[in-house]
Amino acid sequence: MNSSLVDLLPPLLIVAPILAATLPIALGLRFDRTGWSVAAITTGALFAAAGYLASAVHAGGRVTHTLGGYPRTYGIQLVADQFSILIVLLVTGVATGVLAYTRRGGPRGNTFYTAYLLLVGGLLGISLTGDVFNLFVFLEISSLATYALVASGDGPESAVAALKYLILGTVAASMYLIGVAFVFMATGTLNMVELAEAIPNAERQTLIQAGFAFIVVGFATKVAQWPLHTWQPSAYEQAPDGATPLIAALVSTASAYAFGRLIVTVFEVDYLASMPRAASIVLTVGCVSVLAGTVLAVIQREVKRMLAYSSVSQFGLVIAAYGVVIAGGSETAFTGAAIHLVGHGILKAGLFLSAAIVATSYGARTVDEYAGLAKRRPVVAGAMAVLLFALVGVPPAVGFVGKWYIALGAVEAELWPVAAVIFLSTMLTLAYAARLLEKMYFTPAAGAASARGHGPSTVATDGGEQSDGERGSDGGDESAAEGREDRASDDGAVETPLAAGVSYDPTGGPGRDGPGRSPDPVSSGMVAVVVVAALVAVALGFAGGAFADFLEPFLTEVFN
């Protein structure tokens, strides 16, 4: 393998999307819709490059690049090792998948794809940087892109959500920066490897402890841990349907990764274990979030909001696993955290994509409106069911493997409360997952008629030009059910609007499919993305051992 080429990949992975982000706007001056093509080419290439880099890391260990040739004492280093390459693969993979969805699902427009590429560049930067200050810069780049994406949602509510996110996110990143300042003050270096050597030998230990405290608060906000999660549900809910999967799957995941990186590489487990109360604080934050997040998710009515609160609890699991790592030096728990980060990213991307498909085709956004979905869209409902079961932690899906390793680590470290919390949260996760499943599979669709008038895309059908045996919305409920059964058979093919009032405007989008034929807002490609996400979630469940093997060299290094 050409080593010089591999050395160049880490900077290229960061620079390419950021440079490409300028293209949609620049080309947009001449051409109308180039954004998607540019983004597709870039993220596709990034995914391929990430795969190549992963194979190089797997074969030869860590790949480092020293930017500008400055020594790492004051320069910036980019590092791809086993832990970071997992997140790089997740970021590029999910970005490619979500992009495939946005081809038909939207949002469209060149500026959207600019923000999209900036976000991907920032997230890859978070994953690959080996410098704690550089980490702050990339955190802020990806946050800025996220604020823009959230604000691009329909309606003024999204601006309010984005501003709330901006203020909390900025304060959180600043907290992290204070922590970095304290640690820098005590050690005089910003490089992660140098810090790992300097921190235990530093004279002023109080500074480092204060620094770690600030870093914990900063990341607890960025990762959306209770009670600092308040920005997250409204941000996820108000972001455009096509952007939420990306934000939910990646932004907090990258922050959680960065926190784990700081724990194992910078502060190092042995040092943190000797720091008073560090372990118990991280453990408490994680466990409380697990319980608070699931309880809050159970009482939500909106599907997107429910999934958002579910993220609070799932990231709580990861943070709790970090607590186990600090308290017990448990490699198993760390493997579990890494698997859960990747698995949760894929699960949330799939779930939010399914929610987006349902919202696009029926305008259904609350749990009640999902009634009878399995009849109308069996493929999407099936994929969603698989993803929900994976989220609960039913074997063999990936959600189970992550939880299993974390729980095993907790038991090994004799932290029984953590194991109990994981068990309890699984029950509660089942509570909200089962509620959605029950609506989709066992509640008749007639209940959906009560959903009349919900959702921003709702337009009452006027019974106008509909050539394929469809009637207008003025029919009764019986005939509506009849029409629905007709359509139950052709999922994935032309989907005509639901007659029960929640429907897509049949006269909208003229010209694309010819007059008189309602354009299908959901293409088979969009459905395929969700199905692939569900399949990957199950397939990765079988790969738990492979994950552990892949991480093995990294683990032996950081845990000695």
Partner 1 sequence: MIDLLASRYTYVLMFVLLGIGIYMAIASENLVKKLIGVNLFQTAIFLFFVSMAYIDADGASAPIVPHHGEPGEVMVASPLPQVIVLTAIVVGIALTAVGLALIIRIYSEYGTLREDTLREVRADE
- Please identify, among the stretches 22-30, 130-138, 460-468, 543-551, the one whose residues bind partner 1 according to the rule CB under 8 A: 130-138
Q: Determine which residue in the list 11, 37, 44, 140 makes contact with partner 1, applying CB under 8 A.
A: 140
List 18, 40, 67, 159, residue binding partner 1 (CB under 8 A): 159
A 10 A CB-CB count for 172 gives 23
Residues 197-226 that bind partner 1 (CB under 8 A): none
Task: Kindly list the distances between the CA atom of residue 494 and the CA atoms of 278, 468, 497, 518, in Å, as whole numbers in the listed order.
Answer: 57, 10, 10, 8
Contact (CB, 8 A) for 39 and 117:
yes
Number of chain positions touching partner 1 (CB under 8 A): 28
136 binds partner 1 per the rule CB under 8 A: yes
- Of 68-127, binders to partner 1 (CB under 8 A) are 74
In whole angstroms, the minimum distance from the beta carbon of 555 to partner 1 comes to 31
Considering the complex, what minimum distance in angstroms separates the CB of residue 149 from partner 1? 11
Tell me the CA distances in angstroms from 236 to 32, 254, 295, one per residue in order: 29, 16, 18
Name which of 179 and 242 has its Cβ closer to partner 1.
179
**Which residues, other chains included, contact 179 with Cβ-Cβ below 8 Å and sequence gap of 6+?**
210, 211, 212, 213, 214, 215, 218
The C-alpha angle with vertex 298 and arms to 297 and 299, in degrees rounded to 5, equals 95
Asked whether position 338 contacts partner 1 by CB under 8 A, the answer is no
Nearer Cβ to partner 1, position 140 or 302?
140
CB 3 within 8 A of CB 57: no
Cα(427)–Cα(224) distance, rounded to whole angstroms? 22
Contact flags string 420-459 toward partner 1, x per CB under 8 A:
----------------------------------------
Of 178 and 273, the one with the shorter C-beta distance to partner 1 is 178
Residue tagged 């697990």 (tokens): 290
Residue 494 within binding range of partner 1, rule CB under 8 A = no
Binding segment (CB under 8 A) for partner 1, from list 81-89, 154-162, 329-337, 343-351: 154-162
d(CA 256, CA 222): 8
190 binds partner 1 (CB under 8 A): yes
Of these, 38, 87, 117, 148, which contacts partner 1 (CB under 8 A)?
148
> Token pair of 121, please?
């560049």
Instruction: Give yes or no for residue 151 binding partner 1 (CB under 8 A).
Output: yes
The type of residue at 122 is G
The tokens describing 43, both together, are 């993220």
Among positions 32, 154, 157, 474, the unique one binding partner 1 when judged by CB under 8 A: 157
Inter-residue contact 65 to 7 (CB < 8 Å): yes
Which one of 90, 117, 120, 177 is in contact with partner 1 (CB under 8 A)?
Answer: 177
Rounded to a whole number of angstroms, the minimum distance from the CB of residue 133 to partner 1 is: 5
| Sole binder of partner 1 in the list 8, 18, 163, 488 (CB under 8 A) | 163
One-letter-per-residue 3-state SS of 289-348 = HHHHHHHHHHCCCEHHHHHHHHHHHHHHHHHHHHHHHHHHCCHHHHHHHHHHHHHHHHHH
Contacting positions for partner 1 (CB under 8 A): 74, 133, 136-137, 140-141, 144, 147-148, 151, 156-157, 159-160, 162-163, 166-167, 170-171, 174, 177-178, 181, 184-185, 188, 190
